[in-house]
Structure formats: C-alpha cells, structure tokens
Amino acid sequence: MDLALAFNIASTLIAFLGGWLIKTLRDDISALKRADQEMAKAFADLRAELPDRFVRRDDHKEALDAIFGALRRIEDKVEKKADRP
C-alpha cells in the first residue's frame, strides 16, 4: 500500500508540475503573439507615415542639384558683374 500511495503522490505532483509548465508556456506564447501583433501594427503605421515624414533619397538629390544649379548661375552672374570695369 505504501508503494501505491507513493506512486499516486508522485504521479499527481508530476501531472501538476507538467500542467503548470504547459499553462505557463501557453500564457507566454499568447503574450508573445499579442506583442507581435502590436509590433506589426506599429510597423504598418510607420510604413504608411514614412512618405509624409521623410524625403526619398533621389528626390532629395534632385532638389539639391536644382539648388546648386541655381547657385552656380548666380555665381556666374556675380563673376560677370565683377569682371566689368
């Protein structure tokens, strides 16, 4: 009878600890899924905002080229005026 009682107690403890472990893992996985969904939503929102908040590299380069072209023309005009006696 002692052996059967010890076996029942041991199997009960193992089942309890196994169930607790599975519940903890399931809760952690659920929390990770929620965090992943929140991060995916934040990423999608950021991706939608990027064109409004930042300038694309090629657009920036074109704008700088236009500005520097205008500055070169102004510089040429200033040099022509400076060359006059």
Q: Please tell me whether residues 81 and 48 are part of one structural domain.
A: no
What is the pLDDT, as a whole number, of residue 1?
66
- Report the pLDDT value the prediction gives residue 85, as an integer from 0 to 100: 64
Q: Are residues 5 and 40 in the same domain?
A: yes
The DSSP line for 5-73 is: HHHHHHHHHHHHHHHHHHHHHHHHHHHHHHHHHHHHHHHHHHHHHHHHHS--HHHHHHHHHHHHHHHHH
Residue-level pLDDT at 5: 92
Check whether residue 2 and residue 43 sit in a common domain. Answer: yes
- The one-digit pLDDT tens for each residue of the chain (85 residues) are 689 999 999 999 999 999 999 999 999 999 999 999 999 999 999 888 888 788 888 999 999 999 999 999 999 999 888 777 6
Number of domains forming the structure of the chain? 2
Q: Judge if 45 and 59 occupy the same domain.
A: no
> By residue range, what is the domain housing residue 32?
1-53
Residue 81 shares a structural domain with residue 71: yes
Whether 12 and 47 map to the same domain: the answer is: yes
Note whether 75 and 37 are same-domain residues: no
